[in-house]
Amino acid sequence: MKIEIERERLLRPLSQVISVVEKRQTLPILGNVYLRYEADALTLIGTDLETEIITKVAGVKGDGGETTVMARKIYDICRSLPDDASLIIKGQGERTTIKSGKSRFTLQSLPAMDFPRLEAEEWDVEIEVEQKELKGLLERTAFSMGQQDVRYYLNGCLLELNGTVLRAVATDGHRLAKSEIEQDEDIAKARQAIVPRKAIMEMTRFMEGDTMAVVAFSNNHLRVKTGNVMFTSKLIDGRFPDYEKVIPSSLSTHLLVDRVGFYDILARAAILTNEKFRGVRLKLQQGSMQVSAHNPEQEEATDEMAVVYEGPELEIGFNVGYLMDALRAINTEQVDLGVQDANSSCTLNAPEEKKTLYLVMPMRL
């Protein structure tokens, strides 16, 4: 294989592909990127056996063939060259050479025929979504996913197709995020898929702009195609919790809070919270909310702000990080905070907004 390509045309596809390549692999070839040249196009593939990303660069000069080379090394070489550099990449046997001007690099290659691929079965559901809409949907919910939870089905985000609605739900058992977008096409067959954390993060990384993404589902895989990029991921095999049961159908009390002011107060109180539990106490009174925190060193923080609240006096504790994450995801000036009592979850959402909702479980302080 031999190709001639400008540095700026190769750098972005390389950065997309190596993002799925793990630094520590069970198989040496998983640290490599697969390169194939045919029909004036260069195809690049990276995988970790759970996720796979394929990208193509059209209009490339060269000779047909394929090879694999260490992903991180070829990316670092490409990034270190001048912006206007051109590269000649030649793969032959167990070596791949890279030439640019007077620079020359020789890298070890592994047989392209040994490069593993994700073999997905037939795609039975396919939809088209605007990239920025899908990216926004994932960003509004992904932060609530579990991290290395023994309940493996929580270490991902639920994507649910139902009628014309595409819904994303994530929970770690202590908080929950739910958001949805409307689709033009009615999906006759309802579908649920639990997408792993890494795949969700990769999808938000390469999606951008107003162009459409084609999202396809099979029993065990998810595939997203955007322009020259095709991303495939295995799905988590498990049953996602019935999230509708934990979302209160109605809360007795609602208050309107200035989002930025509330976030700033929480950020200040967080400085003196217990490092392990990170609890803050909210004390609600008519027209005001007091936020307080303390830690094992007997240090305390107290702050207060005006709110639109006419309910009974109430004290309730929460993990300050969970509240702040939800507030960062809401982009309105005010936030509707729904509460019941000291033992019930609270909800956060933009006023009059029904498509996105955040739920945080209370803490005993």
Each residue's pLDDT tens digit, 144-161: 999 999 999 999 999 999
- Comparing 190 with 271, which gets the higher pLDDT? 271
303 with 263, same domain: the answer is yes
Query: Is residue 249 very low, low, confident or very high in pLDDT (cuts 50, 70, 90)?
Result: confident
Question: Could you tell me the sign of the dihedral formed by the alpha carbons of 139, 141, 143, 146, in that order?
Answer: negative
Q: Which helix (H) or strand (E) holds 62?
A: strand 61-63
Least confident range of 38-47, 113-122, 160-169: 113-122
- Domain containing 281 — which CATH number? 3.10.150.10
Count of Cβ atoms closer than 10 Å to residue 78 Cβ: 21
Q: Is the pLDDT at 169 greater than 80, yes or no?
A: yes
Query: Is residue 354 very low, low, confident or very high in pLDDT (cuts 50, 70, 90)?
Result: confident
For residue 22, the model assigns a pLDDT of 86
| Buried/exposed 168-180: b ≥16 CB within 10 Å, e otherwise | bbbbbebbbbbbb
Residue 322 domain flag: yes
Task: Tally the domains of the chain.
Answer: 3
Q: Which of 114, 144, 168 is the last residue of a domain?
A: 114
232 with 197, same domain: the answer is yes
Residue 162 domain flag: yes
Q: Is the pLDDT at 365 greater than 80, yes or no?
A: no
For residue 147, the model assigns a pLDDT of 93
Q: Which of 244, 274, 295 is the last residue of a domain?
A: 244
Judge contact between 277 and 361, C-beta under 8 A. Answer: no
192 with 303, same domain: the answer is no
For residue 213, the model assigns a pLDDT of 95
348 with 295, same domain: the answer is yes
Q: Is the pLDDT at 120 greater than 80, yes or no?
A: no
pLDDT tens track for 291-337: 999 999 999 999 999 999 998 999 999 999 999 999 999 999 999 99
Name the DSSP letter for residue 148. S
151 with 172, same domain: the answer is yes
State the residue range of the domain holding 48: 2-114
Q: Is the pLDDT at 59 greater than 90, yes or no?
A: yes
6 with 34, same domain: the answer is yes
16 with 89, same domain: the answer is yes
Residue 68 domain flag: yes
Judge contact between 247 and 258, C-beta under 8 A. Answer: no
Q: Which of 91, 114, 137 is the last residue of a domain?
A: 114
129 with 239, same domain: the answer is yes
33 with 89, same domain: the answer is yes
Token couple for 153: 């089905």
110 with 208, same domain: the answer is no
Mean pLDDT of 78-89: 96
Q: Who contacts 245 (Cβ-Cβ below 8 Å, separation ≥6)?
A: none
Residue 119 domain flag: no
Rounded to 5 degrees, φ, ψ at 264 are: -65, -40
Residue 365 domain flag: no
3-class DSSP state of 19: coil
Residue 83 domain flag: yes
174 with 200, same domain: the answer is yes
Name the DSSP letter for residue 94. T
286 with 306, same domain: the answer is yes
Count of Cβ atoms closer than 10 Å to residue 318 Cβ: 23
The DSSP bridge pattern shows strands 212-217 and 125-130 to be antiparallel
Name the DSSP letter for residue 153. G
For residue 119, the model assigns a pLDDT of 83
Residue 27 domain flag: yes
| pTM attached to this predicted model | 0.92
Residue 120 domain flag: no
